[in-house]
Chain A
Amino acid sequence: MPSTFHSIETAKRSLFTQTAALNTTGHNIANANTEGYTRQTVKMRASIPMEAYGINRSNVPGQLGTGVEFDAIERIREKFLDSQYRGENTELGSWTIRSNTLDKLQQIMNEPSDTGIRKVLDNFYKSWSDLSKDPESVTARTIVKENALALTDAMNHMSKQLSNLSADLTSNVEAKSSELQSYVNSIADLNQSITKIEGLGDNANDLRDQRDLIVDKISKIVNVTVTDTDQGYNVNMGGQALVTGFAPTTGINGAFLQAAFASNDLQGGEIHGMIISRDQFVADYTAQMDNLANTLANGDISVTLPKGSVLPEGTVLNGVTYTGTNRTLQSDLTVTVKGLNGLHQLGYTQEDKDANGNMVAGKPFFVASNNGGAITAGNITLNTAIVDNPNAIAASLRVTGTAPTEELVKGNNTLASLMSNLKLNNFTSVSTGNKATIDSFFSSMVGQLGIEAQEATRQTQNSTALVSQVETMRQSVSGVSLDEEMSNMIKFQHAYSAAARFMTTFDQLLDKLINSTGVVGR
């Protein structure tokens, strides 16, 4: 026989359980837009039925239901989707940064435009061509000087922008690494809290959500793998542990991540993108620009000096020293000289004669501003002797007479013409040994940048699509559907109402029994 009040207990359990379910529904609705939130359900089950007690087995039929109870509030989530999401998110992080950097590089290159390096280079050659028409003119020389300065300024500026970009990336790595450090610390803390709570048998659903969300965020910064242990999440970046149980890896900084990049533990994420951007892209274009500057100044070029040209006293070309009467070329001479600088030194300036009464030969045209070092895009500058005195530009390749009465043939424009023709000359790259015109070096660099940027944009779009696809699948499993919650709410509300009605019914039953029976004759 069940107890008289058994059904009241059953009704009460029902009320409590439906309340809990309603409460969870409310919690779900409230968090419909919470980032990283996983919908929760109340696991209901019929509570353990009872047998009527007695010395012998009761002969009352069946087991007596005792109503409902809930044993857990669970998150609905698929682990597989998490790891897939994180993998794609890592790719996205890396490609986004790479694509951004390449976009910035494209802005720095500033092509096609009428203000880029190519344009100033063209102007530089053009001013030599103009000088070739008026080789004696100081105005034309000043224009050559100004255009040369514009060229070196443009290169210096670009080099500066490249090194700024590189420095930005380095400081971004540091900033991101401290962000990563704080995430790692949070995960260790959450591991501890979750273990504590779940040790008591509860599900720390919301804390787990937070922890998963943080892992998602980390996955954008670096590549992660997660193993779920009794001590919480162990988070690894490649073979490098970031969190083991309650212990976060401390000292995550630029050097730590650089080492991880070198050991191949760091294979994705924003930091990976930054390091690749800096060490591959920016470094590569910096090197190419440096090479361009140095090759223009010093790369081997083959030029043909026309017959009748007079080489400066003591010039050594192809192992032949030109001195005295053999300075005057009897036939066209094709020689290899060291870039624009080498060519410039074959000609004569309009300066006063030197101590021996010879006309002054050209000086190196471009020099490194730090004196003596190799010329780079950053330090290339016009020889100060030329900046101070445009007459120090050599345009002529001819003198008449001999020292001390040697005289400059001012109208000889051979050198100026050769200079303006350098646009078509193949230079031998100082660093790679490749032969091409300066224009080709530059346009191949721009072309390479275009391809890399296009590839990065495409990869970014692809990984964005993949991430959003996986995220959609994840949302499909774990996201809150308001329609669903509303229908659940109504379901639970009705269940609650019905349970309450059941209690009222039973209350009336008892009322009848207690207050309305045994009153005969009253």
Chain B
Amino acid sequence: MRVTNNMLSSQLLLNLNRNSERMNNTQNQMATGRKLNKPSDDPVGITYSLRYRSELSSNEQYQRNVDSAVSWLDFNDTVMDQAGQIMQRVRELTVQASTGTNPQSALDSINKEIGQLKEQMIDVVNSQLNGKYIFNGQTYDKKPYDLPLNADNTHDTSGAASIATDTGNVNFIVGENVALPINVTGNEVVGTSTDADNLFTIFNQLSAALASGDIKASGDQLANIDTRMDKMLKVRSEMGAKSNRVELMQSRLSDLEVNLTDLQSKTEDADYAELLMNSKIQENIYNASLSAGAKIISASLVDFLR
């Protein structure tokens, strides 16, 4: 085959171009740190990559939702703890009042304290987290135990027992199709209108008994106090169980995040060791083709004929 000067130079150019294109590609991967820079780099990989990215984004959102759920549940727990302490004190006072050795003045002062504890309890069941009344179901924009005031600035609780709080669940989405109800309704804590151990019924009957010095009637409330405290403990332990579940969810989500990031990295990220090797090899090849080219191009019969 005849070989002409043009063939030599165009072949050289072609080779140099091909080599520098490869180098460019390698360098691009090194600069971005990714082997998947556009869909055609890996058409199958890109669909995985998009899925991982999208799942990571969902995961991030679930984690945020779980965090909110945790703070709601923690707040619930705190509030229930306060309610429990109040009940504990009420029980102590009731026991104290029921011994039969108290003069009416003592019963009156016990009654005063019970009154204050009731006020405290009203505050507790009207607790707000971020402006939401946590014991009023989905109608958390409304105060659940919105009681009228008496002349002495205490709350009139005569109708309180009949208040029905909203039964709607406040659901947080904490995973794919996992909706977690995180709220407790006021009625679960306080009791419904038909419950004999409704908190407000207990308070009111206790106050009435103490005011009239009816020690037996006040002692009778002990049983109601105990069942109410049991129920409140049950609610609290449910919250605790839910907290556990959410914490599990939290660690599962962070595990998942690690896994997804790992998968994403395997699909998208470049292998630096390999890239550096390739880059070095390509550099050598490029240099070799340059020096070969320099030799081929310079030598011509013209140089030797005089």
Which positions in A face B, CB cutoff 8 Å?
32-33, 102-103, 106-107, 109, 111-112, 118-119, 122-123, 125-126, 129-130, 132-134, 136, 308, 396, 398, 400, 409-414, 417, 420-421, 423-424, 439, 442-444, 446-451, 453-454, 457, 468, 471-472, 475-477, 479-484, 486-487, 490
A132-B173, A476-B7 provided; 13 other pairs, C-beta below 8 A?
A111-B50, A112-B268, A119-B57, A130-B64, A411-B139, A411-B170, A420-B173, A421-B173, A443-B47, A481-B4, A482-B4, A486-B301, A490-B305
Chain A residues, Cβ within 8 Å of B1: 476
Check A472–B7 contact: CB distance below 8 A. Answer: yes
**Which residues of the other chain, B, contact A134 by a CB distance below 8 angstroms?**
130
Pairs A–B under 8 Å by Cβ, sample size 7: A132-B173, A396-B138, A444-B47, A450-B41, A475-B6, A476-B2, A486-B305
Which residues B272-306 have CB closer than 8 A to chain A? 300-302, 305
Interface size class of B (residues with CB under 8 A): 35 or more
Check A424–B44 contact: CB distance below 8 A: no
Question: Which of chain A's residues has its CB closest to B51's CB?
Answer: A443
> Using Cβ atoms and an 8 Å threshold, which residues of chain B touch A125?
58, 61
- Residue pair A118, B46 in contact (C-beta under 8 Å): no
Instruction: List chain A residues, Cβ under 8 A from B179.
Output: 417
Interface centre among A111, A396, A450, A457 (most CB of B within 10 A): A450
Asked if A111 meets B39 with Cβ closer than 8 Å, knowing A477-B2, A481-B5, the reply is yes
Docked Cα-Cα span, A486 to B173, in Å, equals 85
Pick the most buried of A32, A102, A453, A483: most chain B CB atoms within 10 A of its CB.
A483
Q: Are B39 and A442 in contact (CB under 8 A)?
A: no
Q: C-beta contact mask, B1-13 vs A, less than 8 Å → 1, else 0?
A: 1111111001100
Count of A-B contacts with CB under 8 A?
A: 173
Report yes or no: B301 in contact with A476, Cβ–Cβ below 8 A.
no
* Alpha-carbon gap, A329 to B68, bound state (A): 29
Q: Are A112 and B58 in contact (CB under 8 A)?
A: no
Q: In the complex, what residues of A have CB within 8 A of residue B140's CB?
A: 410-411
Is B137 an interface residue, CB under 8 A from the partner?
yes
Considering only CB atoms, which chain A residue lies closest to B170 in the complex?
A: A411
What are the residues of chain B within 8 A of A468 when measuring CB–CB?
10, 14
Q: Which residues of A contact B177 (CB under 8 A)?
A: 421, 424
The minimal Cβ–Cβ distance linking B89 to chain A, given in whole angstroms, is 32
A103 and B40 CA atoms in complex are apart in Å by: 9
Chain A residues near B141: list those with CB within 8 A.
Answer: 136, 410-411
- Measured CB to CB, the closest approach of chain B to A182, in angstroms, equals 27
List B residues 23-38 near A (Cβ within 8 Å). 36, 38
B166 contacts A409, C-beta separation under 8 Å? yes
Inside 8 A of A447's CB, which chain B residues have their CB?
39, 43-44, 46-47
Closest 9 A-B residue pairs measured CB to CB? A450-B39, A450-B43, A479-B4, A453-B40, A411-B138, A122-B57, A443-B50, A483-B301, A481-B4
In the complex the two chains form, what is the Cα distance from A134 to B46 in whole Å?
A: 35
Nearest CB in chain B: distance from A307 CB, A: 11
